[in-house]
Protein backbone atom coordinates (compact mmCIF):
# COMPACT_ATOMS: atom_id res chain seq x y z
CA UNK A 1 0.00 0.00 0.00
CA UNK A 2 1.41 3.34 -1.01
CA UNK A 3 -0.54 5.52 1.46
CA UNK A 4 1.56 4.28 4.39
CA UNK A 5 4.45 6.25 2.93
CA UNK A 6 2.52 9.50 2.57
CA UNK A 7 3.17 12.14 5.20
CA UNK A 8 0.74 14.97 5.80
CA UNK A 9 2.48 18.30 5.93
CA UNK A 10 1.29 20.65 8.70
CA UNK A 11 -1.28 23.23 7.62
CA UNK A 12 1.13 26.14 8.16
CA UNK A 13 2.83 25.13 4.88
CA UNK A 14 -0.29 26.07 2.94
CA UNK A 15 -0.34 29.37 1.13
CA UNK A 16 -2.37 31.89 3.15
CA UNK A 17 -5.49 33.29 1.50
CA UNK A 18 -6.21 36.86 2.58
CA UNK A 19 -9.42 37.53 4.50
CA UNK A 20 -10.53 39.91 1.75
CA UNK A 21 -10.18 37.24 -0.94
CA UNK A 22 -11.85 34.65 1.27
CA UNK A 23 -14.85 36.96 1.85
CA UNK A 24 -15.22 37.51 -1.92
CA UNK A 25 -15.38 33.76 -2.51
CA UNK A 26 -17.82 33.29 0.37
CA UNK A 27 -20.05 35.99 -1.13
CA UNK A 28 -20.01 34.32 -4.56
CA UNK A 29 -20.92 30.92 -3.09
CA UNK A 30 -23.64 32.50 -0.91
CA UNK A 31 -25.21 34.32 -3.87
CA UNK A 32 -25.48 31.02 -5.73
CA UNK A 33 -26.83 29.10 -2.73
CA UNK A 34 -29.48 31.81 -2.23
CA UNK A 35 -30.41 31.58 -5.94
CA UNK A 36 -29.51 35.26 -6.47
CA UNK A 37 -28.24 34.63 -9.98
CA UNK A 38 -28.49 38.24 -11.18
CA UNK A 39 -26.24 39.36 -8.31
CA UNK A 40 -23.95 36.41 -8.98
CA UNK A 41 -23.58 37.50 -12.61
CA UNK A 42 -22.39 40.90 -11.38
CA UNK A 43 -19.98 39.52 -8.77
CA UNK A 44 -18.56 36.31 -10.21
CA UNK A 45 -14.90 35.82 -11.13
CA UNK A 46 -12.97 33.18 -13.00
CA UNK A 47 -13.20 29.96 -11.05
CA UNK A 48 -16.60 30.73 -9.51
CA UNK A 49 -18.35 27.60 -10.86
CA UNK A 50 -15.49 25.45 -9.58
CA UNK A 51 -15.67 27.00 -6.11
CA UNK A 52 -19.43 26.58 -6.03
CA UNK A 53 -19.13 22.95 -7.15
CA UNK A 54 -16.57 22.29 -4.42
CA UNK A 55 -18.91 23.85 -1.83
CA UNK A 56 -21.81 21.68 -3.04
CA UNK A 57 -19.59 18.58 -2.98
CA UNK A 58 -18.60 19.31 0.62
CA UNK A 59 -22.27 19.79 1.47
CA UNK A 60 -23.01 16.35 -0.01
CA UNK A 61 -20.26 14.68 2.02
CA UNK A 62 -21.46 16.45 5.17
CA UNK A 63 -25.14 15.59 4.66
CA UNK A 64 -24.29 11.95 3.93
CA UNK A 65 -22.01 11.93 6.99
CA UNK A 66 -18.97 10.75 5.06
CA UNK A 67 -15.97 11.72 7.22
CA UNK A 68 -13.14 13.55 5.46
CA UNK A 69 -10.21 15.88 5.90
CA UNK A 70 -10.25 18.88 3.60
CA UNK A 71 -7.22 19.64 1.40
CA UNK A 72 -4.50 17.55 3.05
CA UNK A 73 -1.00 17.82 1.65
CA UNK A 74 1.21 14.80 0.97
CA UNK A 75 4.83 14.34 -0.02
CA UNK A 76 5.62 12.82 -3.41
CA UNK A 77 6.45 9.11 -3.47
CA UNK A 78 7.62 6.88 -6.32
CA UNK A 79 4.78 6.77 -8.89
CA UNK A 80 2.72 3.61 -9.32
CA UNK A 81 4.37 1.62 -12.13
CA UNK A 82 1.01 0.89 -13.79
CA UNK A 83 0.49 4.62 -14.41
CA UNK A 84 4.02 5.10 -15.72
CA UNK A 85 3.53 2.35 -18.31
CA UNK A 86 0.01 3.43 -19.29
CA UNK A 87 1.04 7.07 -19.68
CA UNK A 88 4.04 6.11 -21.81
CA UNK A 89 1.95 3.79 -24.00
CA UNK A 90 -0.64 6.52 -24.70
CA UNK A 91 1.69 9.56 -24.82
CA UNK A 92 0.05 11.09 -21.75
CA UNK A 93 2.10 13.28 -19.44
CA UNK A 94 2.33 11.91 -15.92
CA UNK A 95 2.13 14.94 -13.61
CA UNK A 96 4.59 14.68 -10.74
CA UNK A 97 5.21 17.30 -8.07
CA UNK A 98 6.96 17.62 -4.71
CA UNK A 99 3.60 17.73 -2.93
CA UNK A 100 0.04 16.57 -3.67
CA UNK A 101 -3.07 18.33 -2.42
CA UNK A 102 -6.26 16.35 -3.10
CA UNK A 103 -9.55 18.12 -2.33
CA UNK A 104 -10.57 15.54 0.28
CA UNK A 105 -9.02 12.65 2.16
CA UNK A 106 -11.54 10.06 3.38
CA UNK A 107 -11.14 7.99 6.54
CA UNK A 108 -10.53 4.85 4.45
CA UNK A 109 -7.53 6.53 2.78
CA UNK A 110 -9.28 7.47 -0.48
CA UNK A 111 -8.25 10.72 -2.12
CA UNK A 112 -11.17 12.65 -3.63
CA UNK A 113 -10.92 15.28 -6.35
CA UNK A 114 -13.87 17.30 -7.65
CA UNK A 115 -13.78 19.00 -11.03
CA UNK A 116 -16.29 20.54 -13.39
CA UNK A 117 -15.26 18.72 -16.57
CA UNK A 118 -15.54 14.99 -17.22
CA UNK A 119 -12.44 15.10 -19.44
CA UNK A 120 -10.51 16.96 -16.73
CA UNK A 121 -11.58 14.21 -14.32
CA UNK A 122 -9.66 11.75 -16.49
CA UNK A 123 -6.67 14.11 -16.56
CA UNK A 124 -6.64 14.07 -12.75
CA UNK A 125 -5.82 10.36 -12.88
CA UNK A 126 -2.37 11.34 -14.12
CA UNK A 127 -1.97 14.00 -11.43
CA UNK A 128 -3.12 11.98 -8.41
CA UNK A 129 -3.77 8.35 -9.36
CA UNK A 130 -0.12 7.38 -9.38
CA UNK A 131 0.26 8.58 -5.77
CA UNK A 132 -2.91 7.35 -4.01
CA UNK A 133 -3.99 3.90 -2.86
CA UNK A 134 -7.52 4.84 -3.93
CA UNK A 135 -8.74 7.84 -5.90
CA UNK A 136 -12.27 9.01 -6.60
CA UNK A 137 -12.75 11.87 -9.07
CA UNK A 138 -16.20 13.47 -9.23
CA UNK A 139 -17.31 15.65 -12.17
CA UNK A 140 -20.30 17.84 -13.02
CA UNK A 141 -20.28 18.63 -16.77
CA UNK A 142 -20.34 15.86 -19.36
CA UNK A 143 -17.88 16.70 -22.14
CA UNK A 144 -15.37 15.13 -24.51
CA UNK A 145 -11.61 15.23 -24.82
CA UNK A 146 -8.45 13.24 -25.42
CA UNK A 147 -8.06 11.88 -21.89
CA UNK A 148 -11.69 10.72 -21.72
CA UNK A 149 -11.43 9.14 -25.16
CA UNK A 150 -8.34 7.15 -24.17
CA UNK A 151 -9.33 6.26 -20.60
CA UNK A 152 -13.10 5.88 -20.31
CA UNK A 153 -13.11 2.13 -21.06
CA UNK A 154 -9.98 1.36 -19.04
CA UNK A 155 -10.23 -0.23 -15.61
CA UNK A 156 -7.75 1.68 -13.46
CA UNK A 157 -6.24 -0.34 -10.60
CA UNK A 158 -7.05 2.20 -7.89
CA UNK A 159 -9.27 4.93 -9.33
CA UNK A 160 -12.87 5.67 -10.22
CA UNK A 161 -14.31 8.52 -12.26
CA UNK A 162 -17.95 9.28 -11.44
CA UNK A 163 -20.54 11.93 -12.10
CA UNK A 164 -21.55 13.77 -8.93
CA UNK A 165 -25.00 12.37 -9.73
CA UNK A 166 -23.81 9.05 -8.26
CA UNK A 167 -24.99 10.46 -4.90
CA UNK A 168 -28.51 11.36 -6.09
CA UNK A 169 -30.16 8.15 -4.85
CA UNK A 170 -28.78 8.72 -1.35
CA UNK A 171 -29.58 12.44 -1.43
CA UNK A 172 -33.19 11.80 -2.42
CA UNK A 173 -33.67 9.99 0.91
CA UNK A 174 -32.66 13.09 2.91
CA UNK A 175 -34.99 16.01 3.59
CA UNK A 176 -32.39 18.49 2.28
CA UNK A 177 -31.12 16.20 -0.49
CA UNK A 178 -33.48 17.28 -3.31
CA UNK A 179 -32.42 20.90 -2.73
CA UNK A 180 -28.76 19.95 -3.28
CA UNK A 181 -29.71 18.06 -6.46
CA UNK A 182 -31.57 21.15 -7.73
CA UNK A 183 -28.53 23.33 -6.98
CA UNK A 184 -26.29 20.98 -8.96
CA UNK A 185 -28.70 21.18 -11.91
CA UNK A 186 -28.75 24.98 -11.63
CA UNK A 187 -24.95 25.05 -11.62
CA UNK A 188 -24.85 22.91 -14.77
CA UNK A 189 -27.10 25.42 -16.53
CA UNK A 190 -24.71 28.26 -15.66
CA UNK A 191 -21.94 26.73 -17.79
CA UNK A 192 -20.72 29.41 -20.17
CA UNK A 193 -22.43 32.17 -18.17
CA UNK A 194 -20.47 31.94 -14.92
CA UNK A 195 -16.81 31.00 -15.29
Residue-wise pLDDT tens digits, 154-195: 999 999 999 999 999 999 999 999 999 999 999 999 999 988
Dihedral sign (CA 20, 25, 31, 37)? positive
Residue 151 pLDDT greater than 80, yes or no: yes
Q: What is the DSSP track for 164-175?
A: GGGGHHHHTTSS
* Distance, CA of 79 to CA of 142 (rounded, Å): 29
Asked whether residue 11 is assigned to any structural domain, the reply reads no
Quick check: is 7 in a domain? no
Using DSSP's 3-state secondary structure scheme, residue 66 falls into coil
Q: In terms of Cα–Cα distance, which of 60, 21, 35 is closest to 169?
A: 60
The answer to whether position 149 is within a domain reads yes
92 is in which domain, residue-wise? 17-189
2 inside domain: no
CA angle 140, 15, 147 (to 5 degrees): 35
Q: Round to whole Å and give the CA distance between 21 and 5.
A: 34
Taking residues 33-52, what's their average pLDDT?
94
Mean pLDDT, the chain, integer: 92
Q: What is the mean pLDDT of residues 100-129?
A: 96
Amino acid sequence: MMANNLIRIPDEYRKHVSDRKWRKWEKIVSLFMENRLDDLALNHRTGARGRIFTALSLEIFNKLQIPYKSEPIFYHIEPNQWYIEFAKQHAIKLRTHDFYNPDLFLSDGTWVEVTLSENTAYQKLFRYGHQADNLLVLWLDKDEGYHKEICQKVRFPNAEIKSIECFNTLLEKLSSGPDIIRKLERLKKLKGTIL
